[in-house]
Structure formats: C-alpha cells, structure tokens
Amino acid sequence: MASTTSVCVNHPKVETRISCSSCGDPICTRCMRQSAVGQKCPRCAVSPRGARALGKPVHYVRAVGGGLATAIAAGLVYRLALGSVGFGRILLAVAVGYGVGAAVRWGARGQTQPPFPAIAIGLAVAGIAIAYLPAFALLGNPFTLLGLAAVGYGALLGLRR
C-alpha cells in the first residue's frame, strides 16, 4: 500500500500526513491547532471575535481601577476648566471620555467587547459628574446634558481606538 505525503502549506519543506479538518489544507505539527472537531490550521482555528471569552476577573478589576482613577483625575481637571473654556467644554468632555475609554481598554488588555463599553461610558459620565457635584443647578443646562453625551461618545472612541 502506497502512502501519500503532502507538504505543509505554511512550511513547504516539511512533509506531513495531517490535514485541517475545516479546509483540508495539509499542515505540520507546528501549525496544527487542536480543537473540539480535530486538528485545524492557524487560519481556521482563529475564533470569531464574538465567540471569544468576556475577559478574566483581573481584566475587570484593572479596567474599572484604571478607568476610575482616570475619571476622577479628568473630572477634577474638567471642573477647573469649566469657567474658562466656554463652548469648548464639549470638546473637553470628549477628551475626558477618550482618556477614560483608553484607560479601560488598557486595563482590559485591549478587549473592547461588551461589557467594557458600558464600563467605559459609566466611568466617564461619573468623572464628569464629579465636576458638577458642587453645582447641582447646572444639571438642567443643555450644555451640561450635551457634555454628558459627548463624554460617552469620547469613551467609546477611546475604547475602540
């Protein structure tokens, strides 16, 4: 009985008798990825983004910790700048949100799937709320409400950069 050997699609000098269970390409033992349905090539073994795990507990702790520290610091800076920037407070709110979103992304090790967007937006809005704590009368101001929306948008931008 004659045996047939192929060469690996990724390593042309390596002979193999293994093939990917999904696409059928010949793969060597260095390329082989074990899965529930057999051996797969590296291209077929990559799981879709929606099927990946939601993060480990340490990712949540780091995301909330980094985002909260950034939100508090940025909220205080925002409070100091409120009187002097006028309409620029909307742009400043976007910058605050972007910073908080980037801190959450850093803490989550680059993960951007839910629930990390909600964490980023919530912390960014909390950071801006810190700026308005001494003056509850400003909460009815349309620019304040626009600033809260802008900070949420900035948080999403920073998270998904």
* Residues 104-125: tens digit of each pLDDT: 999 998 888 888 999 999 999 9
Residue 49's pLDDT band (boundaries 50, 70, 90)? Answer: low
> Which pLDDT does position 68 carry in this prediction?
95
In the chain, % of residues over pLDDT 90: 35
**What's the burial of 47, exposed, middle or buried (CB within 10 Å: 0-12/13-18/19+)?**
exposed
Largest CA distance in the chain: 88
Predicted TM-score (pTM) of the model is 0.66
> Which pLDDT does position 38 carry in this prediction?
87
39: enclosing H helix or E strand: strand 38-40
Q: What is the pLDDT of residues 25-34, one digit of tens each?
A: 899 999 898 8
Q: Is residue 66 within 8 Å of residue 106, measured between CB atoms?
A: yes
**Token pair 């950069």 is at which residue?**
161
Residue 52's pLDDT band (boundaries 50, 70, 90)? Answer: low
> Which pLDDT does position 54 carry in this prediction?
67
Q: Is residue 58 within 8 Å of residue 34, measured between CB atoms?
A: no
Tokens of 137: 């009368």
Q: Is residue 156 within 8 Å of residue 117, measured between CB atoms?
A: yes
Q: Rounded to whole angstroms, how far apart are CA atoms 60 and 123?
A: 13
Average pLDDT for 19-25 = 86
> Which pLDDT does position 78 carry in this prediction?
86
Average pLDDT for 92-105 = 94
Residue 46's pLDDT band (boundaries 50, 70, 90)? Answer: confident
Q: Rounded to whole angstroms, how far apart are CA atoms 98 and 108?
A: 15
Residue 126 three-state SS: helix
